[in-house]
Chains A and B, each alone.
Chain A
Amino acid sequence: TQLLEQSPQFLSIQEGENLTVYCNSSSVFSSLQWYRQEPGEGPVLLVTVVTGGEVKKLKRLTFQFGDARKDSSLHITAAQPGDTGLYLCAGVGNNRLAFGKGNQVVVIP
């Protein structure tokens, strides 16, 4: 059983469109991280959210941590082909990261 469920698993959109992907769990985490992984590379940390209800912005990416610290969303505004990648959420608990399977995002030029 996956501790973190990410949806949708796969999303393909046109350049310039907006998208939102989700990371859900029944567990409470002390914090939650989002990573982006490109083909042939390891995951790269984008952001860490710590406080329930917290919203963080990274250029065109907006990350939100749920009030109960069990879920998170990532919204991309005006997606660019460079946003293509596998977005992984990871819950921090018991001094360990638990990863979801990821949201594969493809932005078509």
Chain B
Amino acid sequence: DSGVTQTPKHLITATGQRVTLRCSPRSGDLSVYWYQQSLDQGLQFLIQYYNGEERAKGNILERFSAQQFPDLHSELNLSSLELGDSALYFCASSARQRETEAFFGQGTRLTVV
């Protein structure tokens, strides 16, 4: 158990819909990272938050957004969903701003139908 909790574990939704994925980092970790994993692209970095503030952006679509709350949990919002958004979405956390050792949650498997 990495100590990072993601909910829900599975999510099936229709195209055009909006979903919210939730992540609770390890106790004491200030940084949260979101990744998307698909068979063809591998593990792609989306966005990082540190202590409530956005720190780095990767290949995140404009239809996607995230935030980190004062209690340090984070949410990833995906809107206007397309079939191609079907993937595993992982949250990871680390103690510091630098991503030198990341602990991953079990992921949310999103299926868009």
Contacts and interface: CB of A to CB of B under 8 A. Distances in A.
A109 interface: no
A56 to B, nearest CB: 15
B45 A95 contact: no
A42 B100 contact: no
A42 B42 contact: no
A79 to B, nearest CB: 23
A98 interface: yes
Q: Is the interface of A mostly helix, strand, loop or mixed?
A: strand
Interface in A29-70: 31, 33, 35, 40-45, 48
Q: Is the interface of B mostly helix, strand, loop or mixed?
A: loop
Contact-residue size bin, chain B (C-beta under 8 Å from the other chain)? 20 to 34
Nearest to A45: B101
A99 B102 contact: no
B97 A95 contact: yes
A96 to B, nearest CB: 6
B74 interface: no
A28 interface: no
Interface string B59-73: 000000000000000
Interface of A: 2, 31, 33, 35, 40-45, 48, 88, 92, 95-102
